[in-house]
Structure 1
Amino acid sequence: MSTPSGSVGVHLGTATGRAVVLAAVLGSGMTMLDGTVVNVALRTVGEDLDASLAQLQWITNGYLLSLASFILLGGSLGDRFGRRRVFVVGTVWFAAASLLCGIAPTAEVLIAARVLQGVGAALLVPGSLAMIQGAFVREDRAQAIGSWSGLGSIAAAIGPFLGGALVEYASWRWIFLINLPLAVVTVLVAQRAVPETLDPHAPRRFDVVGAVLVALALGGLTYALIEWGGPLAPWAVLVTVLASAGYVVDERRSDHPMLPLGIFADRTFSAANAMTLVVYAALGALLFFLVLQLQTVSGYGPLRAGVATLPITLCMLLLAPRGGALATRIGPRIPMTFGPVVMAVGTLLLLRVGPDTDYWTDVLPGLLVFGVGLALMVAPLTATVLAAASDEHAGIASGVNNAVARAGSLLAVAALPLAVGLGGDQYADPVAFDAAYRSATLVCAVMLAVGGLLSWVLIRDPGISAAEAVDAG
């Protein structure tokens, strides 16, 4: 039975509440697992398919591009047709695209399959959060989101072991094929136990033009950054400018916009998304460079490089629910400020990673500090974004935040190699890559510090009056 958002009234400790969290965790866990193992496999994929650095960037960014472009449309579809239904469709799509990734014979085919995989994720990812927002009573939502964040990290925790072992001892292709049985379980749990929620006032038509314009804008900018200096790069910039302008015009004129621009009138919502853009840009770029640094410069194999990043996911698993509970007690401003700052400190510690790296002194301390900061920030950030929007816009709100996060990672992975002078097949050259890694790491630390500053200046805890907010700032 389909019901309006917020009217189900599920409590966290009930069987239905556990089923909602489990389905959301399994679905989003697939995307977390995929992100973890793809980074670990990039160097091996490059060797096997004779891929350039630009193609490796597109293997990462093709997925992020389609995800960021269509995630708002995915949220709108969930609000209109039912969050569970669209979530299930996205899970099946994601699994089918994963199969295509697993059998791809060339880098070009793998990139195309990754783009299709991102479309499936665009349906799946906003549904996982929107199911929680639409099903749970308001007082249980922050804790449910914290549980979702922490438990979802189980997949990311398994990923380094499973993905690294598959890449090193079997084939990188299995990192995609492993999604198939997980998708089957996800669909079964969602169909049998998760209540359907939707927005009865959602528009019946969808802004497909807006979605296409977003894809053109992000795709043009990404191409220009990765292929800068090539003959088509200036044309890609022009496409970006025209598509961006067209998107704004389309959203203002449409009676069924993909993104109602009025949602940004809430200062907290806008500030939280600005912070998301900066922080997730740093997060995506750091993980991209770190895993390649460990393999190219420090001499780690795929399994060892994957397992090396495990402390981040363990911190998320153990501490993310507590981050949500802390934000419930004291408000989101402090966790959202100090979380990125702590992450910046951890990032600076990772400058020690190099040719003669000792894991326990050069890698582990930085990852632990980084993981603590991430766990402190994630649940409060997500809960703040969703709380700033009305219940009936749960799908759009989660879609916007996820799109911003993916766009940040997308643009950082595209731009930073160019900015630090890395190109061609230099990802396999230890000397060239080590120098680029150090420059990129410093840039990531600065971005994280800026994210913390944005939260301190712009985020206000619920219930604080305007005068108190000024005094507190």
Structure 2
Amino acid sequence: MPEQGRGRWWGLFAISLGVATIIVDVTIVNVAVPAIIADLGVSSAGAQWVQEAYTLVFASLLLVVGRVADRTGRRRMFVVGVLVFVAASLLAASAGSGAELIGARVLQGLGGAMMLPTSLSLLNATFAGRERAIAFAVWGSTIGGSAALGPLLGGWLTTEFSWRWAFGINVPIGVLVIAATLVLVPESRDDRVERGIDLVGALLSVLGMTGIVFALIEGRTYGWWESATPITLFGQDWPATISPVPVAGIGGLAALALLLAHQVRRNRRGRPALLDLSLFRIGSFRTGVTAAGIVSLGEFGLLFALPLWYQNVLGYSAFHTGLALLPLAVGSFLSSALGALLVKRWGATRVVQLGVAAEIAGIAGLGLVVAPDTRWWAPLGLLFVYGVGVGLATAQLTGVSLREVPLRRSGQGSGVQSTARQVGSALGIAVLGTVLFAGLSGLLTARLAERSDIESTQREQIVTTVRESGGAAIAGLAADPRTAPIAEEAKAAFADATRYAAFAAAGFLLIGLIACARLPRDRPEPVDPAPMPQPAASPAS
């Protein structure tokens, strides 16, 4: 059956290419954000929503999609997801306003949610034993490497062509993925999965996550408790003196509490639920999912901050920013081969812990070297270490989480695991973005307050402009000799705020490492004994 074997591995390539596309789209936008801000006139909060709209929908629908795909066909769901993703990418590439771009990103999130959990359950159904471990490692390394390659690809496309090509490139890749998947990947489904969809649970998860992320992103704009300025939401004036931020945050927490109660009730009654709580009786799954969420919070949030620092403080172009982040991708890809060797020697759990520790070292080191005048070579080694950690942790944590999940529940299990990652990623962008921009406001205000030549009204205007532009206004300040000293203060404040975001990311990863310490230990793979020497075969044989 060698042809079937080759077909499976080519099918793995097709699935991994599709996964690479949706993961790249999480990070490819990072280096394009300054160009998007300039072209469409979006604010720093709007730039975060360009990221969050995609990630929120992605995270909120993964559980529903995993369950439906088990019943209707995993390959079918994957292919439909690619079609939706390609169509949404065309809309994003042609967006004429920030609102249109955010709407297109919502549709991209829908397509991505249909692709990611089904990709993992397809691998789980297609491969077994050691081959499954290899397939999971390739899948996980694809995620880590794609997240790192996104800024390079986005930087090149933005600099040489337009930020719109950061979305347009998905179209030819998506067509290739669809054709290869239909030819090379067999259909799989579980006819025993129960009928029905938990739409109430899906709605509560969307409301809960959106409320919390809205509060984290918009707090600095609308006020954390009292309304900072007159507020208009969806064309309507906000009537209360209290800001919508605490209302959204508390409402989001309440929705998540209702979601948990709703899931417990439906599980007890044996009705289809968004979350199969019985999966959490599996120790490796429960701990692995928790660790995946926390680790993702620290991993991807910083990739929002670093490109802004490179471009708006150090003056790099989008392409040079991508080149500067290339060691992260190199480290992630190299660690996939290294991880396979380490798993044989130490076991997957140890490799996950080693990867998270490497991430902490790399990010904490970046926090130490970030400055307004950092030399180009200073972050390279730290980014490489960070990339090695991402590759090791991401590639192996998936397999550790799902190794004891029954095959017939692989869609649900992979959906929960992927949801944990995406929820962590969404919160990471929101939390670290808040740390970055709130820190920038406070630090720049303090620096300008020491200057006697700047009035308070002018100071507030400068701080607001720099913050809302995501730092893009610094270049304009530097170009005018009269405001060049203010630009230097803004660069210093932005660098300090980036440093705080890096240390916050390292802190979250440290919590993730503590969670990973609770992962059940697995035994290293036995090393095959050296084969006995055999006599040379005769020509006749």
Question: Would you say same fold, with TM above 0.5?
Answer: yes
Alignment-derived partner of residue 196 in structure 2 = 205
Q: Which residue of 1 aligns with 2:300?
A: 284
Decide which moves more: 386-395 or 329-338. 329-338
Q: What amino acid maps onto 1:319 in structure 2?
A: S
Secondary structure of the structure 2 residue equivalent to 1:262: helix
TM-score (norm 1): 0.91
Q: How many residues align?
A: 453
Aligned-residue offset at 1:385: 1.2
Q: Which residue of 2 aligns with 1:354?
A: 371
Residue matched to 2:230 = none
From 414, 433, 436, give the equivalent of 2:494. 433
Letter in 2 for 1:243: A
Greater helix share, structure number = 1
Aligned-partner SS, 1:94: helix
User: Partner residue of 2:282?
Assistant: 266
Cα distance change on mapping 1:90 and 1:324 into 2, 3 Å = farther
Q: Distance in 1 between matches of 2:201 and 2:345?
A: 39
Q: Which has the larger radius of gyration?
A: 2
Bigger mean CA deviation after superposition, 10-19 or 399-408: 10-19
Tell me the distance in 1 between the aligned counterparts of 2:154 and 2:433: 25
Q: Distance in 1 between matches of 2:516 and 2:20?
A: 27
Residue 267 of structure 1: how far off its partner (Å): 2.1
1:394 and 1:322, CA in 2 relative to 1: closer, same or farther beyond 3 A?
A: farther
In the other structure, the counterpart of 2:244 is 232
Q: What's the TM-score once normalised by structure 2's chain length?
A: 0.80
Tell me whether 1:460 sits opposite 2:520 in the alignment: yes
Q: Deviations over 1:218-268 (max 9, x none)?
A: 000001111122521122123213311221222123200011111112222
Partner Cα separation in structure 2 for residue 184 and residue 374 of structure 1: 29
> 1:185 matched to which residue of 2?
176
Provide the alpha-carbon RMSD of the alignment. 2.1
How far apart are residue 321 of structure 1 and its match? 4.0
Residue segments in structure 2 that go unaligned for 5+ positions in a row: 228-242, 442-463, 475-490, 525-541
The reply on whether 1:383 has 2:443 as its aligned counterpart is no
* Amino acid in structure 1 at the alignment position of 2:261: V
The verdict on how the C-alpha distance between 1:354 and 1:86 changes in structure 2, with shifts beyond 3 A counting, is same
SS in 1 for 2:28: helix
1:316, distance to aligned residue in structure 2 (A): 2.1
Superposition map of 1:28-427 within 5 A: 28-151=19-142, 159-228=150-219, 229=223, 230=227, 231-254=243-266, 255-327=271-343, 329-351=345-367, 352-360=369-377, 362-420=378-436, 421=438, 422=440, 424=464, 425-426=466-467, 427=470
Q: Is the Cα–Cα contact under 8 Å of residues 351 and 393 in structure 2 kept in the other structure?
A: yes
Distance 1:448 1:158 in 2: 21
**Contact persistence 1:70–1:122 (CA under 8 A):** yes
Q: Is the 1:98–1:176 contact (alpha carbons within 8 Å) kept by the matching residues of 2? A: yes
Q: Quote how far apart the aligned CAs of 1:374 are.
A: 1.6
Q: Classify the secondary structure of the residue corresponding to 2:379.
A: helix
What corresponds to 1:442 in structure 2? 503
2:370–2:498 Cα contact (<8 Å) kept: no
Identity, in percent, stands at 34
Q: Which segment drifts farther, 347-356 or 420-429?
A: 420-429
Report the 3-state secondary structure (helix = DSSP H, G, I; strand = E; otherwise coil) of the residue aligned with 1:274: helix
Whether the 8 Å contact between 2:370 and 2:496 is mirrored in structure 1 is no
- Work out whether residues 62 and 415 of structure 2, in 8 Å CA contact, stay in contact via their aligned partners in 1: yes
| Partner amino acid, structure 1, of 2:18 | G
Distance 1:151 1:64 in 2: 18
Distance 1:155 1:445, change over 3 A: closer
Note if contact 2:29-2:151 (Cα within 8 Å) is conserved in structure 1.
no
Q: Using a 3 Å threshold, how does the CA distance of structure 1 residues 12 and 409 change in structure 2: closer, same or farther?
A: farther
SS in 1 for 2:215: helix
- Secondary structure of the structure 2 residue equivalent to 1:39: coil
Question: Is this contact kept in 2: 1:221–1:236, CA < 8 A?
Answer: yes
Shift, 1:11, TM fit: 9.0
Contact 1:40/1:291, CA 8 A, preserved across alignment: yes
In structure 2, the partner of 1:5 is none
Contact 2:208 2:252 in 1 (8 A): yes
8 Å contact kept, 1:299–1:355: no
